A and B are shown apart, each in its own frame.
Chain A
């Protein structure tokens, strides 16, 4: 079946450096994508989203890139801080299909002081 997956299960980055978390999706009909951050003992927290009519979207210290040709999504976090340590999930939805959010397994980002 369709799935959303992540290339790397863990990622360690030096504090102050930039980090990139990648995500591959397989449903070519998905048209809305979301990145979530989940800290230990908490629910997923919305970071940034992007719709399929866009290639790039920027937030505060975060940028999401969408490459529909290869069905790839990435989350870039600039100038990482200790508080960025968490598990990051990408999720996709097919708005006029099953309209259900499909989550990837997650990447654990560790910021090294």
Chain B
């Protein structure tokens, strides 16, 4: 299993540009998540999905959109990039079913700079 795969690893955007961060997992996990991590900080949840066709906002969803058309893929879309969105973005997945929560598995991140 490759686990959670994120692409690209690095990207520089100009203010106002748009892009999609890709995330795919091959563990058949039902839950998927997007986080951002600012320097010296913990992870903040942007959006999450409990299954294909279902998405919900996390703590910091403004400026982002997601979709979950398949179990494997959970892309994150930035429509109008702003300098405040400069961060490292992590995708994660887990198998979760009530008390059978399992830990989240993370990708290696996408480092995004908005100039």
Whole-angstrom distance between the alpha carbons of A101 and B92 in the complex? 11
Contact of A34 with B108 in the complex, beta carbons under 8 Å: no
What is the interface size of chain B, counting residues whose CB is below 8 A from a CB of the partner? 24
- In the assembled complex, the CB of B10 is this many whole angstroms from the nearest CB of chain A, namely 11
A106:B42 contact, CB within 8 angstroms: yes
Which residues 59-113 in A have Cβ within 8 Å of B in the complex?
A: 89, 93, 95-96, 99-101, 103-106
Q: Are A32 and B101 in contact (CB under 8 A)?
A: yes
With A42-B108, A43-B106: A104-B42 Cβ-Cβ less than 8 Å? yes
Please indicate the chain A residues that have their CB under 8 angstroms from the CB of B48 in the complex: 100
Chain A CB within 8 A of B75 CB: no
| Cβ < 8 Å to A, chain B residues 24-49 | 33, 40-45, 48
B53 on interface, CB distance cutoff 8 Å: no
User: Closest residue to B107 on the A side, CB-wise?
Assistant: A43
Quick check: B105 and A96 within 8 Å, CB to CB?
Answer: no
Shortest Cβ distance from B31 into A: residue: A99
Interface check A45, CB cutoff 8 A = yes
Question: What is the bound-complex CA distance between A36 and B94, given in angstroms?
Answer: 14
Q: Assess whether B74 is interfacial by the CB under 8 Å rule.
A: no
Tell me how many residues of A have a C-beta within 8 Å of chain B: 23
Q: Which of A34, A42, A93, A103 contacts B109 (CB 8 A)?
A: A42
CB pair A46–B105 under 8 Å, yes or no, is yes
Q: CB of B104 within 8 A of chain A?
A: yes
B43 in contact with A89 (CB, 8 Å):
yes
Chain B residues near A89 (CB-CB < 8 A): 42-43
B43 and A103 within 8 A (CB): yes
Q: Which B residues fall within an 8 A CB radius of A?
A: 4, 33, 40-45, 48, 58-59, 90, 92, 96, 98-99, 101, 103-109
Which residues of A does B touch, CB under 8 Å?
A: 4, 32, 34, 36, 41-46, 49, 51, 89, 93, 95-96, 99-101, 103-106
